[in-house]
Structure 1
Amino acid sequence: MHDIITRPPLDTDTELDRIAKHYRSAGGTGVQMLNALGGKAEGLLDQLPANVRDGLTEATERALRLSVQAAQGTRRAVPDQKEWINTAVTTALGAAGGFGGLPGALVELPATTTMLLRAIQGVAAETGFDPATESVQFDCVRVFSAAGPLDFDDGADLGFLSARMTLTGGAMQKLIATVAPKLATALGQKLAAQTVPILGAVAGAGTNFAYTRYYQQIAHVQFGLRRLAVDADLPQDELVLRLRSRMSDQIS
């Protein structure tokens, strides 16, 4: 089965402008939302109990492994939804998890991770790629290697797009092990925001809204560049450099 669906080629500069717009849109939304809730990136993880912090990477890696299977499995029964529906569902999950405090948030974590991955797969399909193929599933997980919205760098670091791993036996497991620590930090910040007394449900809804918006936008960047590399017959690394240059010009 092919991992890409044929469609008319796109103008390179126009498409890079569109991708840059998605990248800019990823930044800011989460920070503004969390700041409105009184949350700040610095010190959020310190608010979590030590035993939760210590086990966060392992729990995230386990949730991501399960989510890879679950997200793909649900595609057979439930069609891809519009991005606003994905955001609404994860927002509701976050509210429910935050209402139950830290125990509820920990229970909600695997469900939210699955929904995030499913939303990323939906963007891949929208861009013309088949999420059932190994290489596309691989890149869906790689989207999580971008910083979370609390650490968004406005284009200073697009290295996650350039880092490539060979698709050999066990590559997905190796990728998950590599992505898990960074994703654990992002989700740890989310969990900490959900422990805010009284505002836990609001914080849970707000952070899930921010993270779903963020990763869907990053997925548009990931698969937009991959698609453009095929259409324009250009190395993806070259396109990443051109995208970085665009971002630098706009923030300088």
Structure 2
Amino acid sequence: MRGREMELLGRPIDERALDARLDALVRRNAQAGNAAIDLLNLIGGHAEGLLDRLPGQVRARLDTATQEALTYAAEAAHRSRGTLGEMPGWRMRALTTVMGAAGGMGGLPTALAELPVTTTVLLRAIQDVAVEHGFDPNEPGVRFGSIEVFGAAGPLSRDDGANLGFVGTRMTLTGAAMRSLIARVSPRLATVLGQKLAAQTVPILGAAAGAATNYAYTRYYQEMAQVHFGLRRLAIDADRDPQDLVAAFRERAAVQRV
């Protein structure tokens, strides 16, 4: 199905199957940040206060550093597919966990050095989920969609799915378009990565907090990718307008929160 993800194969699924899959995606979205509870217990704090632990000069440069990391990751994650092949989700979580522990051992300097590498692996994990749903990661719309997943609120916040989006699969992947998308996504990701950096600077617990943070973040973005690409797959299987499904998803998510 690669390169043909917008083609409908066979008859569309019925309403009952559509509702069941949509409800499953809503539940998945609601449960995505559960691993962060253990993380906050480990570092003994609240998500809102984590950024205050970072030095002022680091906070001031966080947006720029995140944009640079995401720009690097956009190409590095894509190139890695030619050398590493497909990797199961658990292996990605294991890899980022080890990287987080290494980054936290040396405090802020090593955590900052680890940031672009972890961002690359996270993006690669998102792309792998797209493949699970039958999408070709070489397609421009899929590459854009993978970066869009970083627009979710983050594992230490509650997300209402408002940032779920769909990009046309036949769009032209230009440098300007990619830079524009990265500029739109990076401010929210900067907050998420800032919380990660702060967790890794916790005295004594830096390595453990780094490992727990990376595990929680990888699991979260894998789940968000399952929601994002699950909705795209559902739109194809049900022969429905993707934006209509996003609207239905948001309505059901709002009801569940209430």
Smaller-chain TM-score bracket? over 0.9
Q: Which residue of 2 aligns with 1:160?
A: 163
Moved more, 120-129 or 168-177: 168-177
The reply on whether 1:31 has 2:37 as its aligned counterpart is yes
Cα drift, residue 240 of structure 1: 1.7
Q: Given the alignment, which residue of 104, 108, 111 partners 1:105?
A: 111
CA distance in 2, matches of 1:164, 1:223: 11
The reply on whether 1:2 has 2:3 as its aligned counterpart is yes
SS at 2:123 equivalent: helix
Q: Given the alignment, which residue of 245, 252, 256 partners 1:246?
A: 252
The reply on whether 1:200 has 2:169 as its aligned counterpart is no
Give me the identity figure in percent: 52
TM-score by length of 2: 0.90
* Change beyond 3 A, Cα 1:88–1:207: same
SS at 2:47 equivalent: coil
RMSD (Å) for aligned C-alpha atoms? 2.0
CA distance in 2, matches of 1:24, 1:5: 27
Moved more, 103-112 or 42-51: 42-51
Q: Which residue of 1 aligns with 2:79?
A: 73
TM-score by length of 1: 0.92
Q: Which whole-Å deviations, capped at 9, do the CAs of 1:29-56 have from their partners, x for residues lacking one?
A: 2133223331311121111111111111
| Unaligned residue ranges in structure 2 (runs of 5+) | none
Q: Which residue of 2 aligns with 1:219?
A: 225
CA distance in 2, matches of 1:3, 1:146: 27
Cα drift, residue 164 of structure 1: 5.7
- 8 Å CA contact 2:107–2:200 kept in 1: the answer is yes
- 8 Å CA contact 2:33–2:216 kept in 1: the answer is no
CA distance in 1, matches of 2:182, 2:92: 23
The reply on whether 1:173 has 2:179 as its aligned counterpart is yes
CA distance in 2, matches of 1:5, 1:129: 9
Q: Which residue of 2 aligns with 1:146?
A: 152
Give the number of equivalent residue pairs: 249
CA distance in 1, matches of 2:137, 2:246: 22
